[in-house]
Structure 1
Amino acid sequence: MTACPKTATPRAPWAPGVGVAAVATAIAWGVHSLVPAVPILTVCVLLGVIVAQIPAARPAVDGVLAPGLTLAAKRLLRIGVVLLGLKLSLVDVAGLGWLTVVVVVAILAATFFVTWALGRWARLPGDQPLLLAAGFSICGASAIGAMSAVTRDRGRDAATPVALVTLCGTAAIAILPPIASALGLTDMQFGAWTGASVHDVGQVVATAQTAGASALAIAIVVKLTRVVMLAPVVAITSLIMRRRGGDVGARPPIVPLFVVGFLVAVVLRTVVPIPEGVLGAADLLQTVLLGLALFGLGTGIRFEKLARTGGRAVAVGLASWIFIAVVSLGAVQLLPLA
């Protein structure tokens, strides 16, 4: 008697999804090369959103590609966040002066709590208020992914906040420069405003570079000062979620491992003379990993669902975007910037 052959189980079920995300990231890189003002990570999210709207692609997105897209949106994103820490030198942050640092942190805190309160008032589902607050106040989709790693939903509520923060951050590239020109802001003021109000690092670079090198330099330092706050905000959230959790086994760690890795990377960048080649390679890898992750997050967005349930989230996101833009604009005009 001949035994029935066993169905082969794929050794790497994540490979198809990660492979498609890699192709999308390569396309995004090509778009950025042709149009440098368009950030790579923004294109990655948009490509994921576009793929998710194609009816013929959905069976694959929800089927064979799902394990790899989930791996990218969760585990690879966390590794990318760790590598993001190598961009940060506490010496550069200190170079802003204590008053500027305090103002930037205060704007972040105010935006976080205002956005969270608006989300709760609008009765947004699940952890959307918290994820919107993290994305709009800290560093866009990367912060949303990091925060979703320690919340109850484990990423289920992340799609709408990622879409909104990407939309608003991309719009800022076109909207902020003419406003700055009309208001007569100096290059330094415009750079500080961009760094304090635009969400994703790539979007900050794309916006600030329109005003020259000095604006770009201060924009990056101000922005990375906001990124530094990702670690304590996520750690505090994790501690709160742990105290509220019922099952001890389901509680997140007090300080998530990727947050520890992020802090270690920041310290290394500050105290160790890392060769430029190593930093360049880490930056390249970080961009690739976050590109894969944001494509994966983008594939979770369904416009028809957003149209049915996302109206309140859109209103909260727009209100948060206007709030941080207006408050940070007033603040940078009061700071002693040349």
Structure 2
Amino acid sequence: MTGVLRFLPGVLLSAGVGALAFGAQALEARLIGRAWVEALVLAILIGAALRLVWTPSETWRPGIRLSARTLLEIAVALLGATISGAAVVALGPWLLVAIVAVVALALIGAYALGRLLGLPPAMALLVACGNAICGNSAIAAVAPVIRAEGEDVAAAIGFTAVLGIAVVLLVPVVGALMGFDALKTGALAGLTVYAVPQVLAAAAPAGAAAIQLGAIVKLVRVLTLGPVCLILALLGPERFGGPAPAGRPPLHHLAPWFIVVFLILTALRSAGAIPEAVLPPLQITVTALTLMAMAALGLSVDPQAVVRAGPRTAATAALSAVLIGALALIAILLLPLPAAGPGQSAL
């Protein structure tokens, strides 16, 4: 019980920030007639603002970490039950080809940018993988494969956490400026946002269809992590400045548990094994958990992360984000995505 109670302060704090964000959204809708900034985005901003003026002590950190990671992963896993596998087939092969092409070009381009800016090979690769695939998860998965130094991993993760929030905040703005409908906004979120659960926050302003398509697109991006790790393992860490391999990378890095559960629940939904009556409360649960996770993410951001990462790493990460954003926009403008009507889910 003592072990469980140590998580309580941070979890309650994350829930409180999430509730404040939900209340701010309701107030926003009442005052101006529409919630232009969704609760999920407000939770990140409120949490980051609080973190800027107050550093949580060890009393709060375990629960914040639990909310930012475990609750976030649970939300992603449960989201699989709301997505039908038929949607992936209905979108056709072009979207899948575009996703793989964007990941490959972003990975190669970001690595080249890092090397041009003078980053060591391992650091350039960590930033490239984090940008092209799935942020911190990709960095954590690739690091043991290339035997990256702990300092490089910490710097890459620190900056990705800050830049990832900026991407989440920019996606709805760019989608609105480009005149994108729900599906195109969801595709933009799925192609550019770093972490899987943050897709929910980035796509939320465009509605349920955007969230669902964004989750599918992002899932395909995450699934490229396995082949990338295998290719890097075959190339060998010595190509990136690491020592010669003494063994193979852990297999669990190639298949995160929440992605496995996501796929299982998607398969069950596609087979009709999940009743429709379960979906509304399940979606509410996913939203609540994600709201807490986004609040915890904001509370976890280190304001000095950009400074510690160094100007070359910062420049590489920022330019890489611009690169994948440009590639995503080109892909979306060329893709034959169908239009979803107002309030209509495309899936």
Q: Shorter-normalised TM-score: what interval?
A: 0.7 to 0.9
Distance 1:126 1:305, change over 3 A: farther
1:307 counterpart residue number: 307
Give the alignment partner of residue 194 of structure 1, picking from 176, 188, 191: 188
Residue 29 (structure 1) shift: 1.9
**1:108 and 1:226 in contact (8 A); partners too:** no
Distance 1:11 1:189, change over 3 A: closer
**3-state SS of paired residue (1:49):** helix
**2:8 and 2:63 in contact (8 A); partners too:** yes
Residue 164 (structure 1) shift: 0.8
Q: Distance in 2 between matches of 1:128 and 1:73?
A: 26
Q: Distance in 2 between matches of 1:292 and 1:124?
A: 37
1:101 counterpart residue number: 96
1:229 counterpart residue number: 220
Q: Distance in 2 between matches of 1:146 and 1:83?
A: 19
Q: Aligned residue pairs: how many?
A: 309
Q: Distance in 2 between matches of 1:333 and 1:74?
A: 33
Q: How does 1:247-326 map onto structure 2 within 5 Å?
A: 251=250, 253=252, 255-326=255-326
Structure 1 unpaired stretches of 5+: 1-7, 210-215
Greater displacement, 92-101 / 234-243: 234-243
Q: Distance in 2 between matches of 1:130 and 1:94?
A: 32
1:287-334 CA-partner distances (Å, limit 9, x unpaired): 333333333333332223423435334433432332233223333333
Q: Distance in 2 between matches of 1:193 and 1:230?
A: 11
1:236-287 CA-partner distances (Å, limit 9, x unpaired): 4666679979798994625333332122122122222533342222222223
Q: Distance in 2 between matches of 1:299 and 1:332?
A: 33
Letter in 1 for 2:170: A
**1:70 partnered with 2:65:** yes
**1:30 partnered with 2:20:** no
**3-state SS of paired residue (1:229):** helix
**1:19 partnered with 2:18:** no
1:20-56 CA-partner distances (Å, limit 9, x unpaired): 11111111222333443323333232233222222xx
1:167 counterpart residue number: 166
Identity of aligned residues (%): 25
Distance 1:327 1:283, change over 3 A: same
| CA RMSD, 1 decimal | 3.9
Q: Distance in 1 between matches of 2:98 and 2:50?
A: 40
What is the TM-score when the length of structure 2 is the normalising length?
A: 0.71
Q: Distance in 1 between matches of 2:245 and 2:278?
A: 44
Distance 1:266 1:312, change over 3 A: farther
Residue 12 (structure 1) shift: 1.4
Structure 2 unpaired stretches of 5+: 29-34, 145-149, 194-198, 238-243, 339-347
Q: Distance in 2 between matches of 1:52 and 1:100?
A: 39
1:52-104 CA-partner distances (Å, limit 9, x unpaired): 222xx32xx13211121222233223222212322432211211222233223
Distance 1:39 1:106, change over 3 A: farther
Distance 1:100 1:229, change over 3 A: closer
Residue 126 (structure 1) shift: 7.9
What is the TM-score when the length of structure 1 is the normalising length?
A: 0.73
Distance 1:21 1:272, change over 3 A: same
**1:119 and 1:316 in contact (8 A); partners too:** yes
**3-state SS of paired residue (1:303):** coil
